[in-house]
Amino acid sequence: MTYSIIGSGKLGTALARQFARNGIEFGLANTRDPITLTALAQELGKPMIAQSLQEALKADIVILAIPFKAHREIGLAIADWNNRIVIDAMNTYGVSPEELGDRESTDIVASAFIGARVVKTFNQLPAALLAKHPEENGGRRVMFLWGRDHDANTDVVDLVGQLGFAAINLGMIEQGSKLLSLGGPLILQNIIKHP
Ligand SMILES: NC(=O)c1ccc[n+]([C@@H]2O[C@H](COP(=O)([O-])OP(=O)(O)OC[C@H]3O[C@@H](n4cnc5c(N)ncnc54)[C@H](OP(=O)(O)O)[C@@H]3O)[C@@H](O)[C@H]2O)c1
């Protein structure tokens, strides 16, 4: 399985730290030349590969750590995502309720990533907390996830667990994305699961 993170800002860097800490190889890209990621690559070492956006979009699991408004252009750049997994780690800051309508934000994302299986996770905690070690007081920080494909959800549970979090799979329940979105009951909940 290959992984990439699109976006090297606050959230992308927090996730990059978790991949590196666990020795899981990943690509990282932003809108600029990969050379802009040299300092972070030197800090995080071998697991991190600074990539161009085009290279990063080829991974088996692509994590979107970009402003919500940027997702559409990226999704439509590839005609068929060929069943690959795209993780929607975005929140809808700056998007009007009219633009969202009644739709789940993750379904809006999926409509631009044709043929992809989109799973929502990693969006629910502030980047500074996400960057911290997920073990706390003998337990592990909870990461909720939701998506419309059972197998994709299972693969993302696996990744979230490899990164050290306690994955809670909301499965395919209706309104799942809204539970995790801005204003939803599961956002900003720093929950620690004990064995
Ligand atoms: N910050 C948080 O605490 C937090 C927590 C949870 C979720 N989120 C969500 O995570 C997403 C990113 O937030 P952030 O705070 O990390 O933002 P940020 O610090 O401003 O970083 C945004 C990153 O996205 C990249 N980017 C923007 N447009 C792009 C495009 N068209 N193609 C490729 N890369 C693009 C930027 O590239 P350049 O570096 O080249 O400009 C930058 O690296 C947002 O949806 C936000 O709601 C943030």
The beta strand positions in the chain, using DSSP E, are 3-6, 26-29, 48-50, 61-64, 85-88, 117-120, 135-136, 139-147, 166-169, 192-193
Q: Measured in whole angstroms, how far is the alpha carbon of residue 105 from the centre of its chain?
A: 14
With 0-12 / 13-18 / 19 or more C-beta atoms within 10 angstroms meaning exposed / middle / buried, residue 33 is exposed
Q: pTM to 2 decimals?
A: 0.98
As a whole number, the mean pLDDT across the chain is 97
For the chain, how many structural domains are there in total?
Answer: 1
- Say how many Å lie between the CA of residue 65 and the centre of ligand 1: 5
Residue 142 has what pLDDT?
98
The two structure tokens encoding residue 34: 């990969």
Residues of the chain with pLDDT > 70: what percent?
Answer: 100
Q: Which of 18, 28, 31 to mutate to test the pocket of ligand 1 (most atoms within 8 A of CB)?
A: 31
Residue 94: give its domain's CATH number. 3.40.50.720
Residue 11 has what pLDDT?
98
CA gap 85, 117 in Å, rounded: 5
Residue 155 has what pLDDT?
98
Q: Greatest CA span in the chain, whole angstroms?
A: 46
Residue 63 has what pLDDT?
99
Collect contacts of 50-54 with beta carbons under 8 A, ≥24 apart.
51/4, 51/27, 53/6, 53/29
- Say how many Å lie between the CA of residue 67 and the centre of ligand 1: 5
CA gap 24, 63 in Å, rounded: 14
Task: Express each pLDDT in 110-145 by its tens digit.
Answer: 999 999 999 999 999 999 999 999 999 999 999 999
Domain that includes residue 143, residue range: 3-193
CA gap 118, 107 in Å, rounded: 8
pLDDT grade, residue 83 (50/70/90)? very high
Residue 163 has what pLDDT?
98
Ligand 1 proximal residues by C-beta, below 6 Å: 6-12, 30-32, 53, 65-68, 70, 73-74, 89-91, 93, 123, 126-127
